[in-house]
Structure formats: structure tokens, C-alpha cells
């Protein structure tokens, strides 16, 4: 028996064994979901040995560990991901076929883990994959949300939110660790007591204690050589119910404490538009950070036994400002619990933490009212005051006397009610702060942390984001992966740098045909998905023009919709013109309380309804909004895209990673010079990307001159006509005034400069039409995009973090 045949037989037997003894079903009566669970568990069994071996090696070699703290981990489905990384996909497909089961159908049954929302969470997942691949001893820490953000449905064009029930059938990948729990305190008061040596000690007496329980998911690296852990925390009450109240007939009240405790790990980003919602957000952040820090200190003490060596043996990365309270919590644990002297504790804290900034938007650089922090975390508020006082005293001693500078770098914002600035706390408590693209890192130095950068010029560094090619090429795009393996060898999946060899085939007519055939296969699959989901028939010969991301005004889905309106009006009024058939595809969620973003979703759907049903459009334009955007949907859309929309207002998108995934899969980018688009242009070449619009500097200058857009609109007849059609109710016959306010806002208060960039965007779109008409030129550009983006692998990003920030070997 060959090695492959043996592997197939072993997998078949293991799946049957799991079906019988774990699921408790017979193969004759098993449902597709039973087969999925049995297959997932048989796959997981293949991971455990390597996982335990990796853990033993970490202890044996006394390795420096990396801890990645993130409120989101958008890991997507894990069955194919794990099989791919173990090189077992083919063997499992054959094993299941012998049992009369189709692996691809099972794949569709797996729910997406609802542990994130957008790019931040997907980046964390790609980074976890790369850390395992590069054999870095790492643990990801986050929250095990029962319902994640929400499940989006579209009814009459409007977004509706429902709980994401991804755990309703259990989770085959996780290992519950009921023995690993930590007490997390809230509220109460701080007592000051004198120690025997006369020193003053602070003892926090929390008014409420909640238990954090660990759940572990193994994260498999490429070829299965190393496996790391994603440890997620679930919240539990100390006592599941008050028995006295229950026995007195108050059956609901008896569960009140449990409900209050478990609210912490119920949903991602609970609305903070109410004081209760704001408090829950802070409780969430502190809950997962405290549990994680207690856990990693326990592991450190088990391994080295010396708290003073914490920074020497551990690196903690804060993924955005959400875990920034960790700076104060580590100080509390070091000083109050482990008796470390303050100055030493601060040195250890700064040497352990580093912080990734993901946004220049002020609302995303969290701040918390001082009253809320004092109520919820009184000891941490004391610690923050002391960190701040010593920080500002130190600056005065160095000769910094400017009151404006001292006020701007203070941890407390004294304007509009006193607030704790969490971005400032993260900056001050870290030895390195990084932006996530070359442009963004420069803007970090010039804007949000301008005064900090002047005071600490070596602290801000750049680490341009990356994506894991294994998921976004091998798993998402098997057709293109097969072609790459046949053309330049399967070694490209071990070393993405080999993609550059594709350049040799960019002009080859036969290779171009095969490249186009792979794209066609993906487009037909997406066309079928579109018809099944929203009932719209699209032509896979048309140009697939795709914008999939969080719905936000700065990402400018509205610019894309307005261009679609202008194009539609042109098609109707110029029947003799030769238009390129185009399908505009949108997907993304709007935050539940973000009214304007939800209105943009409604407009996209209204435009789709009118355009798709109009015989005068002659099928030359279709508009599609696909609901409930997640990793699995992205895996279907991205390989099928011809054009990638990356059209944010310049200076506002930190990096983007969708732009990298699209380019890798042979889509051409239309975009502003924003985030990583700048670096993508440098890599793929000016001629293989469509850049338009104001630069970040021009955006700044334009806003300074005012954001009233009446003159701009008057100077652009196509824009004026499109806005008039929207405002006049052409797309909302049931409510003629639905979009009047939206158009008014654009006209008088165009903060995101949609009108300013409109003509430039339309011109760039017509250039894409011209390139599309020359299919040879289009295909060459697509091939060169795939060939030249190896640098955007998350393996490269993680190597940079490892070398320059974490100081661990790869």
C-alpha cells in the first residue's frame, strides 16, 4: 500500500470512529452535519500531537513568547484551513468519497466563527497563522463571543441585525479548559495599608467578581510543523444562581448576576451609545486583558520563577487601543500582587508591551470618562494618575514647559469632561508603536501622536500589513493555485517570493488563456452564489467590479454607488455608445447604530432594484449587494473579482488588507493613494493599477479651504445629474424624499470629499473600460499583479515584528 493510500485509509477509519463514538451515529443514519463534526474531529486529532509537541518544545527550550491581544480574531472556517496546512485536503476528499460524502458540501456546513468584524480581526487571524508557520512560540488572546457582531439580513433594502448563532451546534475546534479560570474584579474601593517596613501598599477590594474561563483553539502552521494556541475567554458568574431567591419564587431575579456576568462575552462591540453600553465595552476590554495577563504571568512563573525576568521572556502586542488598559493592569499585577517596586515595574511594563495603531480616526482612539473608570476600575484610575504625573514631571525636568504640549501628551483629556486617553496610555506604556503601512506610519507621527513623536522620536516604526497566502490563494482559489503549481512549481506555497517567476509568462498567450480560464471558473461560481442569494442573474463575461468591506463613510461606498448611477443614466441616454458590461458587487456590515452607513446600504439596494429591472439598461450594468459579509463569502468573491475598489478618502485608511488579497488573486486595483495602495502601486507598477483622486496632503488642504461642495457639483454635470436623480426619488419611488438629506449633506458638508474626487474616479473607471476592451493587456496586468505582491505576505510582516519589536528568532 502506498503512503497516500495508507493516509486515505487511516483518515476514513478515523472519521468513522469519530462518527460512531463521539457523535453517536451510524453511517446509514448520519446527517451531513454529523459527517462534518466527525470529519472536523478526525482532522483535529491530527493536530493535537504536534500541538502538544510544540508546547513541550517551548518549555524545554525556554523560549521567549509572544502574546497577541486582540478584541477580534476573524478566523473563518477551519476545516479546509487545517487540512490545507496539514497537506491532507486531497487525502480527506478521497477518504470521504469512499464513504459517499462530498468534502466540498461539508465545507459549506461549517459556520464562520463570529469572533470579529473587519480588517482588524482578519489581520489578527493572518498573523496567528504566520506566527505558527514561522514557529514562533505565540498565544493569541481574545473573547469567545457567543454571538459575535451580528448576522446581517437585508429586508426591503434595509439592514437588519440578528444574533449570530455560530455556537448553536457546538464548536468542533475548541478545547474547553474549565480548570483554567481567573477572577476578574470590578468596582469596590481601594484600601491603603502600611506594610511592616513602613511602605504604603494599596489593596483593591472589588465590589463584584466575575470568572474568566479559558477555551483553546489550536492554530496550525504551514505543513503542520508548529501549532500555537488561540485562547479565548468566556465570562461566568461566581455563583450560577441565587438559590435563596429562586426558592422564594423569584426565578428570573435569581439569575440576574449570571446574566450580568455573561453579558461580557455575549456580543462584539455592544453599542456604546448609552452609559450602560459604554460601561459594558470597558468591562469587556478589562475582562479579557486581566485574564490574559494573569494567565501569561502564571505561565511565566511556572517556566522561569522570576517576575523580574518578565520582559526578557515575554513580548505582548496590543492590537489597537482596545487592550490598552493592559498597561495599567500589568502595573497593578506587578506592584500590588507581586511586590515589584514602581520604577522597576514601569521599566518591565514598557519593555514588555508594544502597540499597533490601526486608525487615525479620533473616535477609534478610545477614551473613557474618568467617572466611569473610577467607578469600574478605581485602582487602575489611581495607577493611570500616577503614571501620568511621573510622565509629565519627567518631561518638565527635561525642560518641556509648553503647556500646550504637556496638555496634548497628558493621559487625561481635560476638555469636554475629563477622559482617559487610551491611545496615549498604550503609546506611553510601550517600547515600540507601529503603524500598518508606510503612509499611515508617517501620518501617525504627524497627526494623532505628533507631540509624542517629537518627545520620543525612536518609538514609532512601520510594519506594513500582510495576508496569509495559504488561505487567500490555496484555499480560496484552487483553480489559480493549480495553475501556479503546474507553471512555476508547488514550492511557491512555501516561498511566495517565487511568484515573481510568473513575470516570464505575462505575455504568453497560452498562459494568459489558462489564467483567464481560472478566473472564469471563479466568476461562474460567484455568479451561481449571487443568483442563489439575491436572485439576480449576472453575466460572468462582464467586468466584476467589487467593493467588499465595512460600510463607513470614509470607505466611500457612496462614491461607488453615485458612479453606478451616473453610468446607468449614460447607458439609458446614449443607446448607441459601446459600454463595457459591468457587475458592481457590494458587501459589508454597517455598525448597528450608524444611521448614515445603513442609509448607504439602502441606497445601494434601491439602485440595484431599479437598474437590474430596467430593460433600457440592456444588462450592461447590474448592481448586487450580498448580505452578511464574512470570511467565507470573501473567499468566494475575491478570486472572482476583476476590479478591486479601494477608494477611501486619502489619509483615512490605515492600510487595508483586502487590497492585497485582490491583487494576489489577479484583480486590478482602482484606488486612491491611501494606506497600502501606495505600496501596492510601487510593487505592481503604475501601469497595472488605476490611481485617482486627491492625495492625503491635498485632502488636508482641501478641507482647510472648506467642505461646501456647491461649486464642485456645479462644475460637474454628470455628478449634478446623478445627485439630482438620487435626491429626486428616481431610486426611491415609494419615498421621494428618502435621500434628500443625504444629498444635502454631500452638497454642504462633504467631509469625505466624495464630490471632489468624483470626476477623477469616473475618469479612472473609463480607463478600466479601455483596458478591459484589450483583453490581452488586461490579462497581462492581472498576471503582473499576482507575480509582484509576494512582499504582502503576513509571513514577511511577522518576520519584521519578530526581528525589530519582539526580538524572537524566526
User: Looking at the annotation, which residues are catalytic?
Assistant: 358, 549-550, 555, 657, 661
Half-sphere exposure for 782 (CA within 13 Å, toward CB):
30
Asked if residue 373 lies in contact with residue 379, where contact means CB atoms within 8 angstroms, the answer is: no
- Rounded to an integer, what distance in angstroms lies between the CA atom of residue 359 and that of residue 365? 7
Cell of 785: 499583479
Q: Is 260 exposed, middle or buried (0-12, 13-18, 19+ CB in 10 A)?
A: middle
What does residue 236 show for φ and ψ, rounded to 5 degrees? -135, 150
Locate cell 486581566: which residue? 290
Asked if residue 421 lies in contact with residue 412, where contact means CB atoms within 8 angstroms, the answer is: yes
Q: How many CB atoms lie within 10 A of CB 508?
A: 15
- Rounded to an integer, what distance in angstroms lies between the CA atom of residue 688 and that of residue 784? 7
Locate cell 468591506: which residue? 549
Cell of 330: 500589568
Cell of 175: 478545547
Cell of 672: 486612491
Q: Residues with Cβ < 8 Å from 732, sequence gap 6 or more?
A: 606, 738, 739
Nearest to 355 by CA among 445, 447, 432, 299: 432
Asked if residue 465 lies in contact with residue 437, where contact means CB atoms within 8 angstroms, the answer is: yes
* Helix, strand, coil fractions of the chain, as percent rounded to 5: 55, 15, 30
Please give the helix or strand (H or E) that residue 182 lies within, else none.
Answer: strand 175-186
Locate cell 468596582: which residue? 187
Cell of 12: 476514513
Direct distance between the N- and C-terminal alpha carbons of the chain, in angstroms, rounded to an integer: 38
Cell of 655: 492600510
What does residue 693 show for φ and ψ, rounded to 5 degrees? 85, 180
- Rounded to an integer, what distance in angstroms lies between the CA atom of residue 8 and that of residue 202? 62
- Rounded to an integer, what distance in angstroms lies between the CA atom of residue 96 and that of residue 109? 15
Q: How many CB atoms lie within 10 A of CB 414?
A: 10
Q: How far is CA 112 from the centre of its chain?
A: 14
DSSP string, 130-171: HHHHTT--EEEEEE--SS-S-EEEEETTEEEEE---TTTT--
Return the bridge partners of 232, or none. Answer: 142, 215
DSSP string, 490-559: GGGGT-GGGGGGGGGGTT-HHHHHHHHHHHHHHHHHHHHHHHHHH-----TTSEEEEEES---GGGTHHH
Nearest to 647 by CA among 778, 554, 713: 554
Torsion sign over Cα 751, 754, 756, 761: positive
**How far is CA 117 from each of CA 67, 121, 285, 320, 798, rounded to the nearest angstrom?**
21, 6, 16, 14, 22
Q: Residues with Cβ < 8 Å from 58, sequence gap 6 or more?
A: 65, 137
Amino acid at each position: 500500500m502506498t503512503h497516500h493510500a495508507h493516509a486515505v485509509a487511516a483518515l476514513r477509519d478515523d472519521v468513522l470512529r469519530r462518527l460512531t463514538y463521539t457523535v453517536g451515529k451510524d453511517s446509514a443514519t448520519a446527517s451531513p452535519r454529523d459527517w462534518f463534526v466527525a470529519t472536523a474531529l478526525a482532522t483535529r486529532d491530527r493536530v493535537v500531537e504536534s500541538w502538544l509537541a510544540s508546547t513541550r518544545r517551548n518549555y524545554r527550550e525556554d523560549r521567549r513568547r509572544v502574546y497577541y491581544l486582540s478584541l477580534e480574531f476573524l478566523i473563518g472556517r477551519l476545516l479546509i484551513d487545517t487540512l490545507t496546512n496539514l497537506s491532507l485536503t486531497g487525502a480527506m476528499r478521497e477518504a470521504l468519497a469512499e464513504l459517499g460524502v462530498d468534502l466540498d458540501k461539508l465545507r459549506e456546513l461549517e459556520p464562520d466563527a463570529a469572533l470579529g468584524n473587519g480588517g482588524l480581526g482578519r489581520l489578527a487571524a493572518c498573523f496567528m497563522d504566520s506566527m505558527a508557520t514561522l514557529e514562533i512560540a505565540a498565544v493569541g488572546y481574545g473573547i469567545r463571543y457567543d454571538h459575535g457582531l451580528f448576522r446581517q439580513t437585508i429586508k426591503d433594502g434595509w439592514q437588519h441585525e440578528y444574533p449570530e448563532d455560530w455556537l448553536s451546534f457546538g464548536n468542533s475546534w475548541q478545547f474547553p479548559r474549565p480548570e483554567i479560570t481567573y477572577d476578574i474584579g470590578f468596582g469596590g474601593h481601594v484600601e491603603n495599608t502600611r506594610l511592616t517596613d513602613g511602605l504604603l501598599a494599596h489593596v483593591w477590594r472589588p465590589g463584584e467578581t466575575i470568572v474568566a474561563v479559558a477555551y483553546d483553539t489550536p492554530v496550525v502552521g504551514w505543513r503542520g510543523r508548529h501549532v500555537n494556541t488561540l485562547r479565548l475567554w468566556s465570562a461566568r458568574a461566581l455563583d450560577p444562581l441565587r438559590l435563596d431567591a429562586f426558592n422564594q419564587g423569584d426565578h428570573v431575579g435569581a439569575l440576574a448576576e449570571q446574566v450580568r456576568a455573561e453579558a461580557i462575552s455575549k456580543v462584539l462591540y455592544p453599542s456604546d451609545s448609552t452609559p450602560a453600553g459604554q460601561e459594558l465595552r470597558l468591562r469587556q476590554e478589562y475582562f479579557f486583558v486581566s485574564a490574559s495577563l494573569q494567565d501569561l504571568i502564571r505561565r511565566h512563573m511556572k517556566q522561569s520563577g522570576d517576575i523580574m525576568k518578565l520582559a526578557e521572556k515575554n513580548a505582548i502586542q496590543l492590537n489597537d487601543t482596545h487592550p490598552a488598559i493592559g498597561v495599567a493592569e500589568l502595573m497593578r499585577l506587578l506592584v500590588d500582587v507581586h511586590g515589584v517596586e514602581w520604577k522597576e515595574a514601569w521599566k518591565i511594563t514598557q519593555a514588555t508591551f508594544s502597540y499597533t495603531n490601526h486608525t487615525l480616526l479620533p473616535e477609534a482612539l478610545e477614551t473613557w470618562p474618568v467617572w466611569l473608570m473610577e467607578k469600574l476600575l478605581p485602582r487602575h484610575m489611581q495607577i493611570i494618575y500616577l503614571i501620568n504625573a511621573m510622565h509629565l514631571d519627567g518631561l518638565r525636568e527635561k525642560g518641556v514647559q509648553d503647556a500646550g504640549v504637556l496638555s496634548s501628551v497628558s493621559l487625561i483629556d481635560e476638555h469636554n469632561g475629563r477622559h482617559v486617553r487610551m491611545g496615549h496610555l498604550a503609546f506611553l506604556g510601550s517600547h515600540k508603536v507601529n503603524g500598518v503601512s508606510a503612509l499611515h506610519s508617517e501620518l501617525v507621527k504627524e497627526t494623532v501622536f505628533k507631540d509624542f513623536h517629537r518627545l520620543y522620536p525612536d518609538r514609532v516604526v512601520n510594519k506594513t500589513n500582510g495576508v496569509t497566502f495559504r488561505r487567500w490563494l490555496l484555499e480560496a482559489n484552487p483553480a489559480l493555485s493549480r495553475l501556479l503549481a503546474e507553471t512555476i512549481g508547488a514550492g511557491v506555497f512555501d516561498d511566495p517570493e517565487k511568484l515573481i517567476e510568473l513575470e516570464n509568462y505575462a505575455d504568453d498567450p497560452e498562459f494568459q488563456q489558462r489564467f483567464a480560464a481560472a478566473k472564469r471558473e471563479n466568476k461562474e461560481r460567484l455568479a451561481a452564489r449571487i443568483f442563489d442569494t439575491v436572485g439576480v442573474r449576472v453575466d460572468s463575461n462582464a467586468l466584476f467590479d467589487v467593493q467588499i468591506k465595512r460600510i463607513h463613510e470614509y470607505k466611500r461606498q457612496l462614491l461607488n454607488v453615485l458612479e453606478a448611477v451616473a453610468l446607468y443614466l449614460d447607458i439609458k441616454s446614449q443607446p448607441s455608445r459601446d459600454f463595457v458590461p459591468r457587475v458592481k458587487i457590494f458587501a459589508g456590515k454597517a455598525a448597528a447604530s450608524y444611521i448614515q452607513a445603513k442609509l448607504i446600504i439602502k441606497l445601494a439596494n434601491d439602485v440595484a432594484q431599479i437598474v437590474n429591472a430596467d430593460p433600457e439598461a440592456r444588462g450592461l450594468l447590474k448592481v448586487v449587494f450580498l448580505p452578511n459579509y464574512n470570511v467565507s463569502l470573501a473567499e468566494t468573491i475575491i478570486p472572482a473579482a476583476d476590479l478591486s475598489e479601494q477608494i477611501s478618502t486619502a489619509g483615512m485608511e490605515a492600510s487595508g488588507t483586502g487590497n492585497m488579497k485582490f491583487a494576489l488573486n489577479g484583480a486590478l486595483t482602482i484606488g486612491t493613494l491611501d494606506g497600502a495602495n501606495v505600496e501596492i502601486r510601487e510593487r505592481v507598477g503604475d501601469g497595472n493599477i488605476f490611481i485617482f483622486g486627491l492625495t492625503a496632503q491635498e485632502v488636508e488642504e482641501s478641507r482647510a479651504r472648506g467642505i461646501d461642495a456647491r461649486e464642485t457639483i456645479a462644475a460637474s454635470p454628470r455628478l449634478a445629474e446623478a445627485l439630482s436623480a438620487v435626491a429626486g426619488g428616481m431610486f426611491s419611488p415609494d419615498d421621494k424624499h428618502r435621500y434628500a438629506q443625504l444629498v444635502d449633506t454631500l452638497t454642504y458638508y462633504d467631509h469625505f470629499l466624495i464630490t471632489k474626487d468624483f470626476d477623477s474616479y469616473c475618469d479612472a473607471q473609463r480607463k478600466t473600460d479601455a483596458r478591459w476592451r484589450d483583453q490581452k493587456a488586461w490579462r497581462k496586468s492581472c498576471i503582473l499583479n499576482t507575480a509582484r505582491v509576494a512582499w504582502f505576505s503576513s509571513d514577511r510582516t511577522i518576520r519584521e515584528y519578530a526581528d525589530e519589536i519582539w526580538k524572537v528568532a524566526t
